[in-house]
Amino acid sequence: MSKLIENAAVDLTIGGKVRTFDVDDPKLPDWVDDKALSSGGYPYEEKFDKDEYEDTLEKLQVELVKAQFWLQETGHRVIAVFEGRDAAGKGGSIFATRAYLNPRSARVVALSKPTETERGQWYYQRYVTNFPTAGEFVMFDRSWYNRAGVEPVMGFCTPEQYEDFLNETPHFEKMVITEGIHFFKFWLDIGREMQIKRFHDRRHDPLKIWKLSPMDIAALNRWDDYTEKRNRMLKATHTQKAPWTILRSNDKRRARLNLIRHILSTLDYAGKDKIAIGERDARIIGEGPKFLGID
In angstroms, the CA 238 to CA 256 distance is 21
The per-residue pLDDT for range 109-129, each reduced to its tens digit, is 999 999 999 999 999 999 999
Confidence of residue 6 (pLDDT cuts 50, 70, 90): low
Any residues with CB less than 8 A from the CB of 72 and at least 6 apart, and which?
Answer: 105, 135
Delimit the domains of the chain by residue range: 50-193+221-292
pLDDT at 125: 98
Report the C-alpha gap between 256 and 278 in whole angstroms: 13
Of the candidate ranges 16-25, 42-51, 110-119, 250-259, the one whose mean pLDDT is the lowest: 16-25
Confidence band of 7 (pLDDT split at 50, 70, 90): low
What number is the average pLDDT over the span 256-269? 98
- Which pLDDT value is given to residue 2? 47
Asked if residue 253 lies in contact with residue 259, where contact means CB atoms within 8 angstroms, the answer is no
Residue 69's pLDDT band (boundaries 50, 70, 90)? Answer: very high
Q: Half-sphere exposure of residue 91, counting CA atoms within 13 Å on the CB side?
A: 5
- What Cα–Cα distance (Å) separates residue 70 from each residue in 67, 95, 101, 130, 236? 5, 20, 12, 21, 33
Give the total residue count for the chain: 295
pLDDT-based confidence at residue 4 (cuts at 50, 70, 90): low
State whether residue 112 is helix, strand or coil.
Answer: coil
Q: Give the pLDDT score at 154.
A: 94
**Global confidence as pTM:** 0.96
Q: What is the mean pLDDT of the chain?
A: 95
Q: Average pLDDT for residues 147-168, to the nearest whole number?
A: 97
| pLDDT recorded at residue 8 | 72
Question: What confidence tens digit (pLDDT) does each residue in 78-87 have?
Answer: 999 999 999 9
Q: What CATH class does 50-193+221-292 carry?
A: alpha beta
CA dist 3 and 10 (Å) reads 15
Share of the chain above pLDDT 70, in %: 98
Res 114: pLDDT: 95
pLDDT tens profile 202-234: 999 999 999 998 888 888 999 999 999 999 999
